[in-house]
Amino acid sequence: MKPMHTVVADVFARIPVTDIHTHLFDPAMGPLLLWGIDELLTYHYLVAEVLRARPGITYKAFRAMSKAAQADLIWRELFVERTPVSEACRGVLTVLQALGLNANTESLSDIRAYFAAQTVRGHADQVFKLAGVERVYMTNDPLNPAERAVWEKGFERDPRFLAALRLDSALKDWPRSAGVLKALGYAVDTSLSGRTLSEVRRYLADWRQKIEARYMAISLAPTFRYGDMGDATFQHSAECWNVDSLADLIVKAVIPVARELGVPVALMIGARKAANPELGDAGDSVGQADIAALENLARDFGDVTFLATFLARENMHGLCVAARKFKNIVPFGCWWFLNNPSLIREITAMRLELLGLSFIPQHSDCRILDQLIYKWTHSRAIIGDVLASKYDDLARAGRPVSEADVRRDLAALFDGRLIGRN
């Protein structure tokens, strides 16, 4: 009989996954979809890492460099002159190895030549195959002018790229975003009057239908509050100056639309935006949130599914406990700074122990198409190993697990069915 770790690895390799949260785009959306070696190397994880390796380079000087020059610098500093031990570096190497490219080189010329010879659709087919991914959810923001123009023009959809309606720019920038909505024909003003809330709901319903969004999503600061938090001393910080408006918009606009249309709301909580604004996308940090806000929402709106993840490791145990108390909370993924092997292992084991199979173990959060390869190659190995260990525990307790059991369980965890569970 094959060891359980081998059984799980073999089955998992054949199970196509649904990646429920990425920042990828349908290939038909043109330059919005990022791919290739220069994009991989200038991803913000590696930008932050190279500026630590070369502290003498100012943020301004780095930003002034062309993308190719930035990529050359990162390759030389992090892959040639240093051993690339970080997860972000290893990820690039995993991608190159999967594509049959030689990473043991000082020059990127051959690697660039390979990508230059690819078509975006052909490359997408190759990446999906190598990553074992069946479909991905995009992050779609109609208030982004470049993206809105593509949706309004129309295009032939690739069925592998599903839509998720992102709410950040419409809700978190309130009241600034009121002007953008008004320019699009929605009769809003800076107040949260009944008419304004009705028009925000109309915007959400219109664009949910237009892009065929399967869920709505928003990222929230760790300071987000809703309901009785049991914290009379809480003071609004500069980061959450509009916290009351945001909670009102979620409760009085987003949740009614989610309920009416039967779509989940994804809450990603814990990002402290622009802790170092000079770093751009690499400058965001993490803060510990209060789980009570999520629990209060789940309690008050029991007929709405809340997909939930947190950025702080310290919040992950509380999320599991909250999900045990509220069946409409579905934990998902190891987001952003938690998407590292040691933390994926810990979080997956904790979720299996507390929730059984009623969670979504992972999403890639990819911004670059090629990242699908390494994110899922690495996550499959870790999650499969954790799950096999749990199966071994069951065998020792007198309940052996069959290969059919493994297939059923992995399909349930990774085919995206939990998004529409209510």
pLDDT value, residue 421: 55
CB neighbours (10 Å) of residue 237? 11
| Contacts for 98 with CB less than 8 Å, ≥ 6 apart | 130, 373, 374, 377
CA angle 124, 127, 129 (to 5 degrees): 110
The pair of structure tokens assigned to 301 is 């709106």
- Maximal CA-CA distance, the chain: 68
Spatial separation of the C-alpha atoms in residues 251 and 25, rounded to whole Å: 29
pLDDT value, residue 418: 85
Q: Give the model confidence (pLDDT) of 371-395 as tens digits.
A: 999 999 999 999 999 999 999 999 9
Given a cut of 70, the residues of the chain with pLDDT beneath it are 230-244, 421-422
Q: What's the predicted TM-score (pTM) here? A: 0.94
103 residue type, one letter: A
Question: At residue 105, what are phi and psi to the nearest 5 degrees?
Answer: -145, 150
Spatial separation of the C-alpha atoms in residues 220 and 249, rounded to whole Å: 13
Strand partners, 163: 213
Element (H, E) at 307: strand 306-310
pLDDT value, residue 245: 87
Residue 83 contacts residue 90 (beta carbons within 8 Å): no
**Where does residue 72 fall: left (phi above 0), alpha (psi -120 to 50 degrees), or beta otherwise?**
alpha
Domain ranges of the chain: 4-32+119-420
Count each helix (H run) and each strand (E run) in the chain, helices first.
19, 9
* DSSP helix/strand/coil, 285: strand
The position carrying tokens 């593509």 is 150
Spatial separation of the C-alpha atoms in residues 36 and 115, rounded to whole Å: 6
pLDDT value, residue 230: 61
49 residue type, one letter: E
The pair of structure tokens assigned to 257 is 């639309």
> Domain 4-32+119-420, what fold?
TIM Barrel (3.20.20)
Which of the 8 DSSP states describes residue 308? E
Element (H, E) at 349: helix 341-355
The dihedral through the CA atoms of 43, 45, 50, 51 has a sign that is: positive
CA angle 174, 175, 178 (to 5 degrees): 95
Class of residue 44 by CB neighbours under 10 A (exposed 0-12, middle 13-18, buried 19+): middle
Spatial separation of the C-alpha atoms in residues 25 and 31, rounded to whole Å: 9
| Contacts for 88 with CB less than 8 Å, ≥ 6 apart | 43, 45, 46, 49
